[in-house]
Structure 1
């Protein structure tokens, strides 16, 4: 059994992502808050997780769901206070649950005091040097410096009153910082210490591959930029010099006992590039989103698992497994749709764009496959990241009117998978009745569908066959069975059935096909799953306990 009480707890942790504004609302204003999280501490403890990861809770104008940060060392007043945050950390720590917070270092909010100072200070000022300002093109500078496009659509440049332009990779309200500026680097070290001193155990680094940039003249065109390899020297993405930043951060992390952890959200092109973020001298761990992007397919899953375990061994890190988060269509829905060009995750986006037609979604199949995939993930060596609501088997909410949506990508038409993001951020149902199904005393900031009632926590907690009951049993057993960071594949004679053994003899068998599979030896040692008569049904996973 893995010891979760060490400085390396993160290597095999089950981490539960909380999107604070949609988790629990303590004051009834329709927005989830920090006291709401405190009120659900017992629920989190009963779930059996090792840590929570909080998406941004900082002061924000909510141009991008809180990822436009106006103050990195405070709590949004709508979500609580620093005292509330401290109480939350204490409550979670009391239950043995660690706390990971989101850090958003690529950009600030345009409401951040630095950016407001930059606007007032004018050309050539030290305040503007914290960001990326350039003169425009054309006879009067009225054209943007380049034809680059923002991730959320539209130009990546915005003109200010005195005629200069600033760069924003994301929403216009999210100006990119200049990471060549020593003041920027020093300020984030202060932020990391601020939260570490308050008891935070680790950090999730938003778009960790985008901080450093080379914007020396002449700037390339969009076509030229798109054609450049992301090999460490790209002007905007995954530059080698970003690891100089993270080497400084690592010194801060290691100055604490136990050392603070970090995980990079790094969308890079090769395993070798990702390994740099997972090294011990950089952030230490990097998300892999390979399974999140894969179809429900045994061959794909095996290849991805084998590749990522090999990467983890090469870097000395541990791999991460994730099927859903706040940016993608929920996996119960993805698995209930016909794959689009081999990419179920992309099909989820297309389904949302089409308005969520009911005749295209097989909810029962999607949930059954989601159970099987999750049990497979929880049986793997490495850490697993779970997204709030997946433990209830929630599907994506597509039925949101245009005037009720909040995602900037929806309004700007960007290429990011964000057109579907509101649907996975709908506030959780806690009770079968009530205006917001127990989320709060009043309504909710995003509309909840009527079918949420049957997936409410109070309903599922009373049902031993529910998704919530499955997650609780699986996470509890995982703590008992988890050992080592390797696995041994056991050939099954079928391409659609995966079987592997962990070092202590724990076996995981996943049937991705529709025909039953004969389990043979070990059928009498099944501790989780359903396999009557020694036969493993289609689209099902079972766990087999080690021999006594």
Structure 2
């Protein structure tokens, strides 16, 4: 069997030009120049392998909180570009960028006013071109966020729809409806916004429009052919720019049930839930993704799409990754699983089983920009959900987080890492109300509104006003302890979380029993311990709060905590995962 080094892209090192120099490889002065110039998209120069996305480790960059290149306190594309060598050395395969499009920023860029432009706070199309090219030369692929469920209320389509009034063609591209009640004063149905309150806002002429999120985010009507045509064009624009794929925001929400029926008093589960709803996971979404797949397949170097799809079951999630649809779907059932051996084994089994019939890789994720970081989630009692307001037991949370990461990276399929988790960052749970910017914080009865805690800019250096994030401070305040968790502080420390991630990703690249594949062989183990075998490899995860002794499985490859070997027995510390070569 070929080694993982043969199997994966072999990357060569290079230095990244200083993004502050302001010189791009090819001068581009307009959007037309950009499109014409990039008709032949650049691919990673270090080589490819078939199905690179099946076992890829993908790193999520939340641009406003990653690195600030111009010193205005807000992260940007220049900052991301300057830190690409860090991501290459970390050992990831691809970088997913959260939205950077032109936007009024009512919801941190998930309210898009122009899908073919970069918001000035993040840079320009020239900056995006330079970032993509530098990433490819480093052997990194670039995945960008796509937001097809809704636009900004400042999108030209929506502004024209308001101006042109009821019955206009532009209004048919959104969900405009007359209201109920004697004078149309009541919303068209009883749907609630994800962020709280009614999912409808009334316009000056008396009609109402649907917004599953904030009022500034009107939902597109995907029954209208113009919407489908527009997004096929948007896909081609960014594929021509050279991006390697798309993360599809609210992929389960594009199609609504016919007639927009009332829920009838049912408790309306929010975005981070799995109940059956008439505005989520409708079968009609799959026709959309089949049409997208034909476009992706036209381009070289295996361009992909990843669904953010909250569904009732992993079997329903599998529908999004059938061979003629998207390539991956986030495994939110796994993200929401407690640190418990029985629960973890059940969701691992069900995830692998659901993906096998559609020949899609399972995906694994522990944190992202919408949920509490797992170092804090695991620091609190189980059952509190994915949005927490308490720091919990920091030491316990970090120990469990390290163990959970090694377990995740040992599973077959693709893994997602959220920026800063490799530093062991916790959520910032004590942000003052006056600095919060999450729109759900300001609306009653919606999501908990504490997503800002996982979006605080990450620390790069031990000292400085923003710990190396940038010269102009940071848009959300960083804790005083951030310096000790910085990249600088942890680099070279063999016991640090950063070096654990670097080591884990290096082993994963080289060992044939990690990443690729579709199954695990479960081994007998004590209660509270997960143990499984793959090709030449065994993983053991002790999810209990006590030391557990097991027969020595083999040679230690990597451990989240120090393991003692006594008389052919291994002593697994509490909340510890170990990789073994066998």
Indicate conservation of the 8 Å contact 2:356/2:518, yes or no.
no
Indicate conservation of the 8 Å contact 1:148/1:222, yes or no.
no
1:110–1:460 Cα change, 3 Å: same
1:455 aligns with 2:485: yes
Indicate conservation of the 8 Å contact 1:292/1:322, yes or no.
yes
Indicate conservation of the 8 Å contact 1:232/1:239, yes or no.
no
1:39 positional shift: 0.6
The match for 1:244 is: 287
1:7–1:253 Cα change, 3 Å: farther
Matches for 1:407-486 after TM superposition, within 5 Å: 407-417=438-448, 419-483=449-513, 484-486=516-518
1:461 positional shift: 0.8
Aligned partners of 2:190, 2:381: CA distance in 1, in Å? 36
Equivalent of residue 39 in structure 1, options 82, 91, 95: 82
Matches for 1:147-166 after TM superposition, within 5 Å: 147-166=190-209
Cα deviation 1:366-414 (Å, max 9, x = unaligned): 1001000000110110000010000000000011111110001110024
Unaligned ranges ≥5, structure 2: 9-47
Aligned partners of 1:412, 1:364: CA distance in 2, in Å? 33
The match for 1:284 is: 327
SS at match of 1:543: strand
Aligned partners of 1:225, 1:28: CA distance in 2, in Å? 45
1:532 positional shift: 2.2
1:11–1:68 Cα change, 3 Å: same
The match for 1:493 is: 525
Q: TM-score, normalised by structure 1?
A: 0.93
Cα deviation 1:153-177 (Å, max 9, x = unaligned): 1111111111111110000000000
Aligned partners of 1:239, 1:486: CA distance in 2, in Å? 28
SS at match of 1:295: coil
1:373 aligns with 2:404: yes
SS at match of 1:223: coil
Matches for 1:233-312 after TM superposition, within 5 Å: 235-312=278-355
Cα deviation 1:319-361 (Å, max 9, x = unaligned): 100000000011001111112xxx25x1x53x41xxx3x6xx1
The match for 1:208 is: 251
Indicate conservation of the 8 Å contact 2:403/2:576, yes or no.
yes
1:384 aligns with 2:415: yes
Moved more, 270-279 or 515-524: 515-524
1:276–1:524 Cα change, 3 Å: closer
Indicate conservation of the 8 Å contact 2:376/2:426, yes or no.
yes
Indicate conservation of the 8 Å contact 1:279/1:285, yes or no.
no
Cα deviation 1:240-265 (Å, max 9, x = unaligned): 11111111101001111123111111
1:526 aligns with 2:557: yes
Aligned partners of 2:213, 2:472: CA distance in 1, in Å? 32
Moved more, 489-498 or 153-162: 489-498
1:390–1:527 Cα change, 3 Å: closer
1:394 aligns with 2:394: no
Indicate conservation of the 8 Å contact 2:364/2:413, yes or no.
yes
What is the Cα-based RMSD across aligned positions, in Å?
Answer: 2.0
1:179 aligns with 2:222: yes
Indicate conservation of the 8 Å contact 1:60/1:68, yes or no.
yes
1:492 positional shift: 3.4
The match for 2:540 is: 509
1:157–1:490 Cα change, 3 Å: closer
SS at match of 2:145: strand
Aligned partners of 1:233, 1:497: CA distance in 2, in Å? 33
1:220 aligns with 2:262: yes
Aligned partners of 1:524, 1:485: CA distance in 2, in Å? 22
Greater helix percent: which structure? 1
1:517–1:231 Cα change, 3 Å: closer
Equivalent of residue 137 in structure 2, options 94, 109, 112: 94
Aligned partners of 1:84, 1:457: CA distance in 2, in Å? 25
Aligned partners of 1:325, 1:537: CA distance in 2, in Å? 28
Indicate conservation of the 8 Å contact 2:201/2:208, yes or no.
yes
1:535 aligns with 2:571: yes
Indicate conservation of the 8 Å contact 2:67/2:76, yes or no.
yes
1:147 positional shift: 2.7
Aligned partners of 2:465, 2:556: CA distance in 1, in Å? 45
SS at match of 2:59: strand
1:142 positional shift: 2.3
1:137 positional shift: 2.0
1:16 aligns with 2:59: yes
